[in-house]
Amino acid sequence: MRDRTVPALAIACAALLAAAPLAPQWLVFLLALALAKGMVVLGLVLLMRTGLVSFGQGLYFGLGAYAAALLAHRGGIADAALMIVAGAACAAAVAAVLGLLLARYREIFFAMLSLAFSMILYGALVKSSALGSTDGFNLHAKGFAGIALAAGTERRLFYAVSVVVVFAVAWLLHRYLASHWGRLSAAIRDNELRVEYLGASVYRVVYVNYVAAGALAGTGGAFAALAVGHVDPETAYWTTSGEFVFIAILGGTGNVLAPFLSAALFEGLRTVANQYAPNVWQMTLGLAMLAIIMFLPGGLWTLLRRRGAP
């Protein structure tokens, strides 16, 4: 059974890039948002492969979004490339500090502590009227790495950039998971103690994975902020983090492509529920979630896997 991931990644990347100049605006927006969220979920999948579920990725998602937005709002720099780098760097920096603490926790305590930190950021953002409190503020990115274009084309450019970045990261993650550290992560999920006995440092692996997940979430946050054009504290709220966890479970942890499929499906599902059942969209979403959990316990990816597995 060959691993067809890399060709699939390449094909998907090419297809989405082709859509950049051709697809209608609303589709470009939808895909850009799905890719951004998918990136956050990629980080979650990495953590889940290590046996940890983080309910606080909203912290980095929000940090990435606000860092990118503040660069434009306060720093006067409206270059999208710099904004994305700023988002990723800011999130990675905070993850590097918090990871020192969080890497010691497991299971529900890891989840709740990560949730606590994301809610602390939420509280800080709400309190800050300079940052618009719960209203947030808008960001306008003009240009990417020096190239400035008209507003409509610019969005397509950002989208294309996000496609390239996302698939590059996905490929890197795919390699990482197949590598020595990736296998260590899976081993930690199975039995941490044995890994320690074998001489590897569990703490270090968890720490690195956590920082990577944080950086990914921050980049996703910056891309989402660019796509939507607005940031607000809701990005750091626990329901946002919960949404990411749901998308992760929906797709399953089988493959790096899974988060993007499930992110797109989730966005589509929510939109459809809102359009056709605006009075009962919550119930519709809940029923859909239950159906998927019951009939596709391994996530959507198992649907595709069945054809190849021995």
Partner 1 sequence: MSNILAVLFDGVVYSSWLFLMAAGLTLIYGVMKILNIAHGSLYALGGYTAATIAGAWLAAGHAAVGSFAMLVVAALLVGLVMGPLLERGLLKWMYGKNEVVLLLVTYAAFLILEDAIKLIWGVESKLLPEPYSLPGNFQIGTLAYPVYNLLLIAVAVIVGTALAWALYRTRQGKLLLAVIHDREVSAAMGINVNRVYLVTFTVGSMLAGLGGALTAPMIAVSPGIGVEVIVLSFAVVVVGGLGSLGGAALGALMVGIVRSLAVRYWPEAELFTIYLVMAMVLIARPKGLFSAPEARRI
Partner 2 sequence: MTRWFGAFLLSLFCALAATTALAQQPIKIGIVTFLSGAAAGPFGVPARNGFELVAEMLNAGRVPAPYATKGFGGNPVELIVIDEAGGPQKQVAELRNLAQRVDYVIGYISSGDCLAVAPVAEELKKLTVLFDCGTPRIFEDASYKYVFRTGPHATMDNTAAALYLLERHPNVRSIAGINQNYAWGQDSWVDFEAAMKALKPGIEIKTSQMTKLFAGQFGAEISTLLASGADVIHSSFWGGDLEGLVLQGAPRGLFQKHIVVLSAGEPAINRLATRIPDGTIIGARGPFGPFAPDTEFNRWFKNTFQERYAVPPNYASYKAANALLGLKAAYEKAQKAGAASPNQDQIVAAFENLTFEGVGGTVKMSLGKGHQATMENAIGTAKAVGGELRIVDIKRYPADRINPPEGAKSEAWLKSGFRK
CA–CA dist 287, 272 (Å, integer): 14
3-state secondary structure of 42: helix
Q: Which of 228, 242, 254, 296 binds partner 1 (CB under 8 A)?
A: 242
Residues that bind partner 2 in the complex, under the rule CB under 8 A:
4, 8, 11-12, 15, 24-27, 29-30, 33, 126-127, 129, 132-138, 140, 151-152, 224, 228-230, 232, 234-235, 261, 264-265, 267-268, 270-272, 274-275, 278-279, 281-282, 304, 307-308
Among partner 2, partner 1, none, what does residue 307 contact (CB within 5–8 Å per kind)? partner 2
CA distances from 110 to 67, 85, 145, 305 (A): 25, 27, 38, 30
Round to whole Å and give the CA distance between 38 and 16: 14
Q: Which is nearer to partner 2, 12 or 296 (CB)?
A: 12
- Indicate the residue among 63 and 261 with the shorter CB distance to partner 2: 261
Decide: 216 and 59 in contact? Cβ < 8 Å: no
Residues 6+ apart with CB under 8 A from 113: 56, 101, 102, 105
Task: Count CA atoms closer than 13 A to 56's CA, side-chain side.
Answer: 26
User: Judged by CB under 8 A, does residue 206 bind partner 1?
Assistant: no
Residue 188 interacting partner from partner 2, partner 1, none (CB closer than 5 to 8 Å by kind)? none
Binding segment toward partner 1, per CB under 8 A, in 7-15, 19-27, 182-190, 280-288: 280-288
DSSP 198: T
Report what 117 binds from partner 1, partner 2, none; CB cut-off 5-8 Å by kind: partner 1
Cα 292 from chain centroid (whole Å): 21
Q: Which of 72, 95, 119, 224 binds partner 1 (CB under 8 A)?
A: 119
Sequence-distant (≥ 6) Cβ neighbours of residue 42 within 8 angstroms: 169, 170, 173, 216, 256, 259
Given a contact cutoff of 8 angstroms between Cβ atoms, the answer to whether 218 and 91 are in contact is yes
Query: Applying CB under 8 A, does 92 fall inside the site for partner 1?
Result: no
Give the C-alpha separation, 33 to 264, whole Å: 8
Q: How far is the CB of 12 from partner 2 (least distance, A)?
A: 8
Residue 132 contact, options partner 2, partner 1, none, Cβ 5-8 Å cut-off depending on partner type: partner 2
Q: Does 47 bind partner 1 (CB under 8 A)?
A: no
Instruction: Indicate whether 297 belongs to the interface with partner 1 (CB under 8 A).
Output: yes
Tell me which residues in 141-170 interact with partner 1 (CB under 8 A).
Answer: none
Hey, what are 171's tokens?
């490929």
- Nearer CB in complex with partner 1: 294/309: 294
Both structure tokens of 57:
């990725």
> Contact positions toward partner 1, by CB under 8 A?
53, 101, 104-105, 107-109, 112-113, 115-117, 119-120, 123-124, 126-127, 191, 193-194, 238, 242, 245-246, 249, 279-283, 285-287, 289-290, 293-294, 297
